[in-house]
């Protein structure tokens, strides 16, 4: 099975395929998440302003992230489900690579609930990712899990 979203579901964009079923409390929020994901996948490197289609989309992202129903879990749940569905349906070997990285928010004084990272003098999160990949083609399927 080919996990490439464009081949698996040619009528769906990347954002629709991975986040179109996100339960964010309002279908307009899900629509915005899909649009933002589509913008981000087109330009994965750089700052948010350089990745998004102008200040309006950036403001829309900030507004979306301030909603109580928009959490780490609610944004990623649909993506995890799609990734796992692809894994179950696949006849091919899959590698699930694990990595932990530090997200350093030391300079963001307004953030709370941060833990110690580094040598104990920085504040942030440890982010453990489980990324599913088809090893033969090196094609990324998606995140199977992510723990902060």
| pLDDT tens digit sequence for 113-141 | 899 999 999 999 999 999 999 999 999 99
Q: Which helix (H) or strand (E) holds 75?
A: helix 72-89
Which phi and psi angles does 133 have, rounded to 5°? -140, 140
How would residue 9 be classed by pLDDT, with cut points 50, 70 and 90?
low
pLDDT at 57 (0 to 100): 92
Domain coordinates in residue numbering, the chain: 1-91, 92-148
Q: Can you count the helices (H) and strands (E) in the chain?
A: 6, 4
Asked whether 21 and 78 are in contact (CB, 8 A), the reply is yes
Strand partners, 122: 117
pLDDT digits (tens, 9 = 90+) for 45-90: 889 999 998 899 999 999 999 999 999 999 999 999 999 999 999 9
* pTM exceeds 0.85 for this model: no
Q: What is the DSSP letter of 114?
A: P
């Amino acid at each position: 099975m080919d996990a490439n979203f464009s081949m698996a579901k040619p009528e769906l964009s990347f954002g629709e395929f991975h986040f179109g079923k996100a339960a964010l409390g309002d279908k307009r929020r899900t629509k915005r998440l899909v649009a933002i994901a589509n913008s981000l996948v087109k330009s994965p490197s750089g700052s948010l302003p350089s990745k998004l289609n102008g200040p309006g989309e950036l403001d829309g992202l900030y507004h979306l992230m301030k909603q109580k129903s928009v959490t780490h879990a609610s944004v990623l749940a649909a993506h995890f489900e799609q990734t796992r569905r692809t894994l179950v349906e696949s006849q091919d070997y899959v590698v699930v690579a694990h990595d932990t990285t530090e997200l350093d928010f030391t300079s963001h004084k307004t953030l709370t609930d941060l833990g110690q990272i580094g040598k104990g003098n920085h504040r942030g999160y440890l982010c453990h990712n489980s990324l599913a990949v088809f090893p033969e083609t090196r094609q990324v399927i998606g995140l199977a899990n992510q723990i902060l």
